[in-house]
Amino acid sequence: MPWAQDVWRSADGSKWELVTPAAEWSPRAAAGLQFRPDGSMLLLGGSDGLLPPIGNGTVFNDVWVSTDLGAQWTLATPAAPWAAREGLQKLTALYGDANTVLLTAGEAGYFGPYFADVWGAHHVHASSPPSPACSCQQQPATS
């Protein structure tokens, strides 16, 4: 089963409109998608399939930004400082400014390793030319 790189949108969940049949990022599954207060979107990580015959075992730690509701995507960084992963969770931070995003958990394969880390990114934006534009840092765990 090949992975896709299309983007769709819906206002009500029953009627869907194709935004783009082929986004700039490579086909993938299990990526994180974060909507931000400024209307932009982030696509984080994912994989192209981990077990034969699905894929070749590549997991990603790239970050892509769209500022036009998913029609065009720009690479913010090809390699964020967090380990490549799929199935990650992302949260809009409950503290700080509206540009803060938290990323936590995920896995590097169906059978691990599994991650229990937390990363914060501030002021993630599209850059031209592509460069490590997200200032990510690992956040301390608290209980």
CA gyration radius, the chain: 15
What pLDDT digit, counting tens, does each position of 47-97 carry? 887 654 555 678 899 999 999 999 999 999 999 888 898 887 765 554 556
Are 72 and 64 spatial neighbours (Cβ–Cβ below 8 Å)?
Answer: no
Distance CA 35, CA 37 (A): 7
Task: Give me the pLDDT at residue 128, please.
Answer: 33
Residue 98 has pLDDT above 80, yes or no: no
Paired residues of 123 in beta bridges: none
What pLDDT digit, counting tens, does each position of 2-20 carry? 788 999 999 999 999 999 9
Task: Give me the pLDDT at residue 72, please.
Answer: 97
For the entire predicted model, the pTM comes to 0.78
What pLDDT digit, counting tens, does each position of 20-36 carry? 999 999 999 889 888 88
Give the side-chain half-sphere CA count within 13 A for 20: 13
Query: For the range 91-96, what are the long-range contacts, defined as Cβ-Cβ under 8 Å and sequence gap of 24 or more?
Result: 92/34, 92/36, 92/37, 93/120, 96/122
What pLDDT digit, counting tens, does each position of 114-142 carry? 888 888 776 555 543 233 334 455 554 44
